[in-house]
Amino acid sequence: MTFNSISANFLSRTLAGTATLVTLLGMIPGLAQASSEQFSAKNNGLRVKTEESLTKNDADSLEQMLANPNKMLAQPMYESANSLMEEEDFEGAILQYNMAIQFYPEYAEAYTNRAIAKAQLGDESGAIADLEQAATLFQEQGNTEAYQQIQQVLQQVQ
């Protein structure tokens, strides 16, 4: 079994059911656009509300965004990379994932998707290194399901 077929099988079988945003070869059309629209809608909603009308959920959401501004800055690049993956522009996607990771080095999903792009270009060692980094980050972040799924893929390809 090749790395590419293992990656594709892994994604369709396991990551589709998780909260991670993985896009491969357009198998999840519109994911990046939907995420962007949700993000914009959330920001527009926060701008319209005054301090007095913020609900606890809105305040918690705002607090999370402010607590992690680097991830918020990295998100548009991540979504752009996902769109490029759908278009099968793997080199362009890698550049966008690189920028997202520069802003937010703990972006496990970006490492996962960059691994897929690298695998599509034949860079198996780079793909494996990114999957290993993603696994480490998922474990540190307490995302046991994603960690275990990536470990299964790594065991199959190594």
Of 132, 137, 127, which Cα lies nearest the Cα of 150? 132
pLDDT tens column, 87-126:
999 999 999 999 999 999 999 999 999 999 999 999 999 9
Q: What are phi and psi of 145, to 5 degrees?
A: -60, -50
pTM: 0.63
pLDDT tens column, 140-157:
999 999 999 999 999 988
**Nearest-angstrom CA–CA distance, 72 and 74:** 5
Select the more confidently predicted residue: 16 or 86.
86
Residue 145, H or E segment:
helix 144-157
CA distances from 152 to 6, 11, 19, 67, 142 (A): 10, 12, 18, 32, 17
**Maximal CA-CA distance, the chain:** 58
Question: Domains in the chain: how many in total?
Answer: 1
**Nearest-angstrom CA–CA distance, 78 and 80:** 5
User: What is the identity of the amino acid at 91?
Assistant: E
Residue 95, H or E segment:
helix 90-103
> What CATH number does residue 77 fall under?
1.25.40.10
Determine the average pLDDT of the residues in 42-61: 48
The parent domain of residue 80 ranges over 3-157
pLDDT band at 45 (very low <50, low <70, confident <90, very high): very low
Write down the H helix ranges in the chain. Answer: 3-13, 31-48, 56-67, 69-86, 90-103, 108-120, 124-140, 144-157
